[in-house]
Chains A and B, each alone.
Chain A
Amino acid sequence: MSALSFERFSYSYPGSDRPALREISVTVEAGEFVVCAGLSASGKSTLLRAASGLVPHFHGGQASGRVVVGGLDTREYGPGDLAQVAGTLLQDPETQVVMGTVGAELAFPLENRGLSRAAVARGVEEIALTLSIAELLERPVDQLSGGELQRVALGAALAARPSLVLLDEPTSQLDPVSGDELIWTLRRLNEEWGTAVVLAEHRLERCLAHADRVLVLSDGELVCDAPPREMLSWAAEHQPALQTPAARLFERAGLRPPPAGVKEARATLQSHGLLEPAASPQCDDSAASRSRPRWPRRAQSAPPPALSCRGLSFDLPSGAAVLSNLELSLQPGQQTALMGRNGAGKSTLLRILAGLQEPTEGKVSSEGRVALLLQNPGDYLIHERVDGEVGAEALAEFGLDDIAASHPRDISGGQRQRLALAIVLSGDRPSAVLLDEPTRGMDRAAKGDLITRLNALSAAGTAVLVATHDTELAAAMAERVLLLSGGRIVADAPTAEVLSGGWHFATETARVLGGQGQACTPEQGGALLRARMTIEAAP
């Protein structure tokens, strides 16, 4: 019996005349690891909701065709019944926990299955150990960070040991370390428990190496169903935005076939003699371990920093230090990425720099207004129409004039982000713009648009500081990377140095090339490889 099968399944949300899914026919066998890819609004989330029974039982709308999950036909069985065979984790961890404490949250799905008290206790203990959240069991859920909430919600989805697990962008709020850990956990569950995994994800480089198959959706249709390497070859021709950085690196270097992951890419490069066998990411003392920046001292005539802080500290009411004696200076027009694991203090630093929060100690000074775009652009939207949020001129500048009459909640995620950016940038030109995790849940096309806007801001003399977990974004937009840990800046160096010298805070290109040539982007890596090929080919 297959874990999941769709037979000519089509679905439209209530009130929509455009189908969200069209004639989907696909089967996921027991024990398979399937990645679901596609641009924003391609139908990935709807596909997962159909597999969990939320579509159409919970959302309503019109459906045709058939979906069978672990032998249960979703026309007859609702999400509660399907929960016995399929665990589901949706996008927002805030709304994915329903109980007061972590222990109660993990016990909840087991109790709902009518298990005995002893079986519930054993199940909670096992899943807590599996996901390394045993130390959180007594904690109230409202005291957890986003990453912790995500792991707890995953635990609740897996607690009943379902034969199929459906995950909608589970790593979108996680730092690179936690994101990798989560994917490895899924891989382990897949291999050891035989759990079939269907994972919708934008950052394909994180999960493609673990996948047996990739399903690509476009405008509600299944346009590709192939193993990772074949899917990447298909993407190169049909949807370049879905190519991973390693695949783009190979394309730039003129190598084929595209690799599904870092290991495969390195093996191919070594077999072509393009990579030294010993080449691995080097953590030299020039990057991550240096705490003192190497920026040239400001000359007498140089402009004053657009934004700076001195001796900045921030303590929680409990006394725990979030930021400790932090020094930072951003030059006009400089683009900087602020990185660090979950809970490192990135968001707190941005809020203090923007004046939203008072530091415990220290001083912030700026040459002008400091604009801050918080994590959730929807929080900025409080009017009934898009043109109520910001003037017509700004709408035109951000390419939003054609949706001026729409309700802000009805526009796409990318449009929301542009609108929120238009709001914070309206009025006087700010001396610095701060963005907190701006690419969460964004596809590569929308990211490219954001990078273009940041470049334009920078060219106009505005300092840009972006707090992000997305190493690819940092490599593409920033000239400088700050790495925050334990409330201090532990690395402050040019992007290439920081992002080419490690495992976790490194781009896929840097991991493939082992940090050689400090290449971080596929373009830089491709040029490096082509140069090597030219030297080799020379007599």
Chain B
Amino acid sequence: MSSVAESKVLLRARSSVCALYGFALVALALAFTHPLILLAVAAATFGAARLSGVQHQLRGAVRFAIPLALMLAVINGILVRDGVTVLWRFGELPLFGQVDVTGEAFVYGLLLALRVVVIIAASALLVAIVDPDDVLRRMRRSAFRSALTAALATRMIGVLTRDARRMDQARRCRPDGGGNGRRAQLLMVGSVAAGALDRAVDVAATLELRGYATRVAPPRGDSLPYSRADRAVLASALGLIALLGVGVGFGLAHFEPYPRIAAVTGLTELLYAALIVLAALAAPLIGERGRRR
């Protein structure tokens, strides 16, 4: 969970509706390749992050995603021989055979890269706005073992990261610097992994001692009523899901990369993209305005 002061709508709303909202954005990015729609989802994602004060978390994720996305674009350009507009002819290359870079493969590669970046950014938004503690609490009632594993895993990430940092410092304290290269790295990884088992046992013991396994249900009718923030985010999430259903169901924003790029872009697509941005930003915008009043 973000450490940003929880005054923003997406950080105030309950985790279930925030998760729905985040998943809807990810699903939209997965469902469409049309550049206009991908840009709309990107605008919606970064806009929502900005309005929620978690943009720095998205920046970190995008920084990680860009090299991966560019590699994908290059590979697609080199390996895919579809498309009719040949930009460069490299001739016969060992392992690759005849290599022609076509304009269509190049553009489609860039679109795939954009899609990867948008998906990772939307996932980062999902992680930033959903409270993992609340998710575990809710999951426990329906999927106890999965929730237990998830609780252990989420806690262990932090514990092992700190363990690895400390062990690396200890390695540097050795007179020989602990050695460098693959063998030293392997020793370190092996040592952290060996310690992970002990640490996981300790964390699991704590879960037991706090009564996690007792599975006592809270009293009936004890759930909180939906707040204004919950309702706003739920409405946005349902709007996004409805748009996803309509777009996929009616085949809107059709995109065909090969043999020639065909991206249907008319008023419908423009309107559709605008609706995605509006639906996504409605909750953070309206929620904050309502709060200020």
Measured in the bound complex, the distance between the Cα atoms of B170 and A373 in whole Å is: 8
Contact B1 A101 (CB under 8 A): yes
The verdict on B249 contacting chain A, using a C-beta distance below 8 Å, is no
Contact A372 B214 (CB under 8 A): no
Contact A100 B206 (CB under 8 A): no
Which residues in window 186-212 of B have CB below 8 A to A? 187-188, 190-191, 194-195, 198-199, 202-212
The verdict on B143 contacting chain A, using a C-beta distance below 8 Å, is no
Select the stretch in A25-33, A106-114, A494-502 that faces chain B: A106-114
The verdict on B260 contacting chain A, using a C-beta distance below 8 Å, is no
Which residue in B158, B173, B194, B195 is a CB contact (below 8 Å) of A373? B173
The verdict on A426 contacting chain B, using a C-beta distance below 8 Å, is yes
Which residue in B133, B211, B222 is a CB contact (below 8 Å) of A104? B133
Contacting residues, chain A, for B285 (C-beta < 8 A): none
Measured in the bound complex, the distance between the Cα atoms of B224 and A462 in whole Å is: 64
Contact B214 A83 (CB under 8 A): yes
Please, which residue of chain A has its CB at the minimum distance from the CB of B136? A99
> A54-B209, A351-B169, A379-B170 known; A80 and B188 CB under 8 Å?
no
Contacting residues, chain B, for A108 (C-beta < 8 A): 210, 212
Contact B175 A426 (CB under 8 A): yes
The verdict on B132 contacting chain A, using a C-beta distance below 8 Å, is yes
Contact A382 B209 (CB under 8 A): no
The verdict on A409 contacting chain B, using a C-beta distance below 8 Å, is yes
Contact A374 B169 (CB under 8 A): yes
Contact A83 B218 (CB under 8 A): no
Please, which residue of chain B has its CB at the minimum distance from the CB of A160? B211
Contacting residues, chain A, for B133 (C-beta < 8 A): 99-101, 104
The verdict on B145 contacting chain A, using a C-beta distance below 8 Å, is no
The verdict on A94 contacting chain B, using a C-beta distance below 8 Å, is yes
Contacting residues, chain A, for B159 (C-beta < 8 A): 94-95
Contacting residues, chain A, for B59 (C-beta < 8 A): none
How many chain A residues touch B (Cβ–Cβ < 8 Å)?
A: 62
Contact B210 A142 (CB under 8 A): no
How many chain B residues touch A (Cβ–Cβ < 8 Å)?
A: 53
Which residue in B1, B6, B199, B209 is a CB contact (below 8 Å) of A52? B209
Measured in the bound complex, the distance between the Cα atoms of B188 and A426 in whole Å is: 20
Contact B191 A81 (CB under 8 A): no
> A94-B159, A356-B172 known; A382 and B211 CB under 8 Å?
no
Q: How far is the CB of A335 from chain B (nearest CB, A)?
A: 20
Contact A90 B205 (CB under 8 A): yes
Please, which residue of chain A has its CB at the minimum distance from the CB of B186? A382
Contacting residues, chain A, for B217 (C-beta < 8 A): 114
Q: How far is the CB of B3 from chain A (nearest CB, A)?
A: 5
Contact B188 A83 (CB under 8 A): no
The verdict on B50 contacting chain A, using a C-beta distance below 8 Å, is no
Contact A84 B211 (CB under 8 A): yes
Contact B166 A109 (CB under 8 A): no
Contacting residues, chain B, for A379 (C-beta < 8 A): 163, 166-167, 169-170
| Extra 17 A-B pairs, beta carbons < 8 Å, given A95-B202, A98-B210, A143-B3 | A54-B208, A79-B205, A79-B208, A83-B208, A94-B159, A98-B206, A101-B1, A104-B133, A109-B211, A112-B211, A112-B216, A114-B216, A139-B3, A371-B173, A374-B169, A378-B195, A426-B174
